[in-house]
Structure 1
Amino acid sequence: MITEKTKEQEMLVKVIRDFAKQEIAPVIDQYVHNGEFPTEIIQKLGELGVFGIQYPEEYGGMGEGMVCFSNVLEELARVDASVAAIVMANSSPLTILSKFGSEEQKNKWLAPIIAGKGIASIGLTEASGGSDASAMKTKAIKKENGWMINGNKLFITNSGNELNKFSVIAAATGTENGKKQTSSFIIPRETPGYVVGPKIHTIGWQAADSRELTFEDANIPDEYLVGEQGTGVKQLLTSITYGRISIAACAVGVAQGAYEEALEYAKIREAFGHQISKFQGISFKIADMATKIESARLLVHKAALLADKDEDFRKESSMAKLYATEMAMSVVQDSIQIHGGIGLSKEHRVSKMLGDAKLLEIVEGTSEIQRLTISKLVGC
């Protein structure tokens, strides 16, 4: 299942690796300290074409697929999970538009974001529902020549910064055969009744921007409905399944960064007259970290490759997300253990990674949801 990168893909990954080291690493802590969104960094990534890696060339994308995109996300998360999360979250609404949007929607909304002219957000999660899409309370009522939307969305990444152009949101649109009908809508940022709440401060992804969105009689035209009415669940599940690969790739990146920090520290820290890397208790821990990371990377690669071949990748996507995120949490904890007291300092990278890893375990479906999904797909 392993495929070699093309020369173009290798070049792109190297460009992003160098960019992360030179453009992100030296300044990202300033954004976190000042509570600012890393606008310049995201704009530069847009100019590099990162937003269009996996999307068709006819809309300005590179057409490289999920294997390449997951490699890029790993490189970004290796240096900072916030930036990787912003890029990942931006891909979710773009995936829906790419897979289900009309030609007009793709040209009007998808192509400009691919070209780096802003970012987008996706609105699914609600305070009362969490992973239960059937509990959605946001409603879209059909009006003459359009829709009126009312409701709230919570923890919506990319929704409150100056680069945001629109959100793709899920809303209930009545019932069909006794079941709640869900549809997806494009809601431009400037829509009257589109209210953006204050930034939600989380334990990880601290430079990212997550908010509550409130829709108060927000009226949009018919052409902002994505696909057919009532097909929202299929669209959202497709986006989530792709998103789980992206989250898993970010987890591999976070773990790789934590592992490299631990290995470097273990080689320079001395105790009892020896480098601590020479102690079996430390060297075995580092060996386990390296093995877990490589295992997770292979799971991500398999899921991404199946997605690129247009085969069923739901099981592999959930497996990659489950294993990689729990692995990242384990590796970061081990890295902190190796660092000892200095690893507990808020100023040290590995302490920040702990919050980043925990968020990765939760978003796009918790570990419990992944186990539920996998158990069904293997026939339980």
Structure 2
Amino acid sequence: MTQFALTPEQRDIQQAAREFAQGEFPKYAREADEAEECPRKLYRQAAELGFQGLFFPEEYGGAGLGYLEFCLVVEEFWRADPGLGQALGSVVFGSDLILLYGTEEQKQRYLPPLTTGEAIMGAAITEPDAGSDISAARTTAVLDGDEWVISGTKIFITNGTIANFLIVYCLTDPEAPGRHGRHSCILVETDRPGFQATKLKGKMGIRASDTAEVVLDEVRVPATNLIGTRGEGFRQFMEFFNRTRLHVAAQGIGVAQGALDKAVRHVRQREQFGRPLASFQGVQFKIAEMATRVEAARSLLYRAAALVDAGTVDHRLIAMAKWLAGETGVRVTDEALQLHGGYGYLAENDVERFYRDAKIVEIYEGTKEVEKQIVARGVIGRPG
């Protein structure tokens, strides 16, 4: 059985991320939520401290570490503030596809700028009529000589208005017999003619993270911008999700731990009926349940991430971790707000923001229903 007790180096990374997030995020968190953007200063600081591209090999500017180390950073970022945590943690969103399937030239060109703070990227997958069913995506890419001509609309795209480049999931082979062999992944620089991104405002949570609608109107990119093999886009993204869902699970654990921290602080300080709230058995039971849920989700994630770093990608275990972490984030933040009473309902209290931020973990990178389906198929197989 793979062990996942943290090494001294991993604990140092965890502590460094905690000190940075706890020291810097509170200065900007509330304003960033209201303005719906992350200060550029934080992007630069996170890169300078080496938090971007931790799992990139050293030859591409990374630290040569693993997904577990990156999860530790994401967890601490979300523990301090989910909105800023998502903004900074998503700078390299989509890079897994380049690492897994990109050419050496693509890796050398696109990965190093992410680690230095010179670039931000993203992955454009979801469409207005293709959410969980990505095989229904209609954005087309037609090969015209030595260029791809891309047209279509993408929605809910992380970093859509601030990214330097996106990996776009495109329909390249509509006549292929199998629906899972019709799409490809193509890298698109956002300064190309025909590319337009519109920021989506008024999100319920993680408002500091950029989310956009992206329209591609006959955007031309070199044929060499194809990532991996033509027609393998669906399979590539399934492997991609097996990595990124680890990060999202870390988000759920982080927001839960942050809310738990705030709840413990509140019940120690707040008095009712002449006694601290923490002295009431009912409150103690709530705190015990919250802490146990967080620890259970964390243990499951660390095991799943450690296995990936050891070369074993267990999609069932990853789906378990992502689903449980999302549910834990939602349930623990709900209980934390409840323990704050009316004070928790006010925007001036950070637990209100954590409550709003937590829900997204059950939605993106595979809804909780999708994760449960993956788990069920792993346990009982495909019926029929």
TM over 0.5: yes
Please tell me whether the aligned partners of residues 49 and 116 of structure 1 are also in contact (alpha carbons under 8 angstroms): no
Residue 5 of structure 1 deviates from its aligned partner by 3.0
> Which residue of structure 1 lines up, in the alignment, with residue 251 of structure 2?
250
> Which residue of structure 1 lines up, in the alignment, with residue 86 of structure 2?
85
Please tell me whether the aligned partners of residues 92 and 239 of structure 1 are also in contact (alpha carbons under 8 angstroms): no
Task: Give the 3-state SS of the residue equivalent to 2:265 in structure 1.
Answer: helix
- Name the stretch that deviates more: 80-89 or 363-372: 80-89
Q: Letter of the 1:166 partner, please give it.
A: F
Unaligned segments of structure 2, at least 5 residues: none
Q: Could you list the per-position Cα deviations for residues 319-342 of structure 1 after superposition, in whole angstroms to 9, with x for gaps in the alignment?
A: 001011101111011001110000
Q: Letter of the 2:247 partner, please give it.
A: S
Q: Letter of the 1:311 partner, please give it.
A: T
Task: Give the 3-state SS of the residue equivalent to 1:304 in structure 2.
Answer: helix
Q: Distance in 1 between matches of 2:54 and 2:178?
A: 40
Residue 87 of structure 1 deviates from its aligned partner by 3.6
Residue 189 of structure 1 deviates from its aligned partner by 1.3
Task: Give the 3-state SS of the residue equivalent to 1:239 in structure 2.
Answer: helix
> Which residue of structure 2 lines up, in the alignment, with residue 95 of structure 1?
96
> Which residue of structure 1 lines up, in the alignment, with residue 135 of structure 2?
134
Count matched residues. Answer: 378
Q: Distance in 1 between matches of 2:46 and 2:211?
A: 19
Q: Distance in 2 between matches of 1:201 and 1:12?
A: 34
Please tell me whether the aligned partners of residues 141 and 149 of structure 1 are also in contact (alpha carbons under 8 angstroms): yes
> Which residue of structure 2 lines up, in the alignment, with residue 185 of structure 1?
186
Residue 178 of structure 1 deviates from its aligned partner by 4.7
- Name the stretch that deviates more: 83-92 or 105-114: 83-92
Q: Distance in 2 between matches of 1:169 and 1:84?
A: 24
> Which residue of structure 2 lines up, in the alignment, with residue 326 of structure 1?
327
Task: Give the 3-state SS of the residue equivalent to 2:196 in structure 1.
Answer: strand
Q: Letter of the 1:181 partner, please give it.
A: R
Please tell me whether the aligned partners of residues 81 and 255 of structure 2 are also in contact (alpha carbons under 8 angstroms): yes
Please tell me whether the aligned partners of residues 38 and 84 of structure 2 are also in contact (alpha carbons under 8 angstroms): no
Q: Letter of the 1:85 partner, please give it.
A: Q
> Which residue of structure 1 lines up, in the alignment, with residue 273 of structure 2?
272
Q: Distance in 1 between matches of 2:83 and 2:346?
A: 19
Q: Letter of the 1:167 partner, please give it.
A: L
Q: Letter of the 1:158 partner, please give it.
A: N
Unaligned segments of structure 1, at least 5 residues: none
> Which residue of structure 1 lines up, in the alignment, with residue 367 of structure 2?
366
> Which residue of structure 1 lines up, in the alignment, with residue 310 of structure 2?
309
Q: Letter of the 2:376 partner, please give it.
A: S
Please tell me whether the aligned partners of residues 262 and 338 of structure 1 are also in contact (alpha carbons under 8 angstroms): yes
Q: Could you list the per-position Cα deviations for residues 137-164 of structure 1 after superposition, in whole angstroms to 9, with x for gaps in the alignment?
A: 1010110111100001111111212xx2
> Which residue of structure 1 lines up, in the alignment, with residue 172 of structure 2?
173
> Which residue of structure 1 lines up, in the alignment, with residue 51 of structure 2?
50
Residue 92 of structure 1 deviates from its aligned partner by 3.0
Q: Letter of the 1:177 partner, please give it.
A: P
- Name the stretch that deviates more: 230-239 or 88-97: 88-97
Please tell me whether the aligned partners of residues 88 and 243 of structure 1 are also in contact (alpha carbons under 8 angstroms): no
> Which residue of structure 2 lines up, in the alignment, with residue 236 of structure 1?
237
Runs of 4+ more than 4 Å apart: none
Q: Distance in 2 between matches of 1:64 and 1:182?
A: 31
> Which residue of structure 1 lines up, in the alignment, with residue 205 of structure 2?
204
- Name the stretch that deviates more: 170-179 or 115-124: 170-179
Q: Letter of the 2:176 partner, please give it.
A: E
Q: Distance in 1 between matches of 2:165 and 2:202?
A: 22
Task: Give the 3-state SS of the residue equivalent to 1:206 in structure 2.
Answer: coil
- Name the stretch that deviates more: 226-235 or 247-256: 226-235
Q: Distance in 2 between matches of 1:109 and 1:133?
A: 25
Q: Could you list the per-position Cα deviations for residues 265-300 of structure 1 after superposition, in whole angstroms to 9, with x for gaps in the alignment?
A: 001111111111111110100000010000000011
> Which residue of structure 2 lines up, in the alignment, with residue 116 of structure 1?
117
Residue 202 of structure 1 deviates from its aligned partner by 0.9
Query: CA distance change for structure 1 residues 195 and 122 in 2, over 3 Å: closer, same or farther?
Result: same
Q: Could you list the per-position Cα deviations for residues 43-102 of structure 1 after superposition, in whole angstroms to 9, with x for gaps in the alignment?
A: 211121211111111211111101111111110000111222224433331110011100
Please tell me whether the aligned partners of residues 73 and 249 of structure 1 are also in contact (alpha carbons under 8 angstroms): yes
TM normalised by structure 1 equals 0.96
- Name the stretch that deviates more: 114-123 or 293-302: 114-123
Q: Distance in 2 between matches of 1:234 and 1:48?
A: 34
Query: CA distance change for structure 1 residues 270 and 229 in 2, over 3 Å: closer, same or farther?
Result: same
Please tell me whether the aligned partners of residues 42 and 83 of structure 1 are also in contact (alpha carbons under 8 angstroms): no
Q: Distance in 1 between matches of 2:88 and 2:233?
A: 23
| Percent identity of equivalent pairs | 33
Q: Distance in 2 between matches of 1:4 and 1:38?
A: 35
Please tell me whether the aligned partners of residues 319 and 370 of structure 1 are also in contact (alpha carbons under 8 angstroms): yes
Q: Distance in 2 between matches of 1:67 and 1:364?
A: 18
Q: Distance in 2 between matches of 1:375 and 1:91?
A: 31
> Which residue of structure 2 lines up, in the alignment, with residue 157 of structure 1?
158
TM normalised by structure 2 equals 0.95
Q: Distance in 1 between matches of 2:132 and 2:376?
A: 17
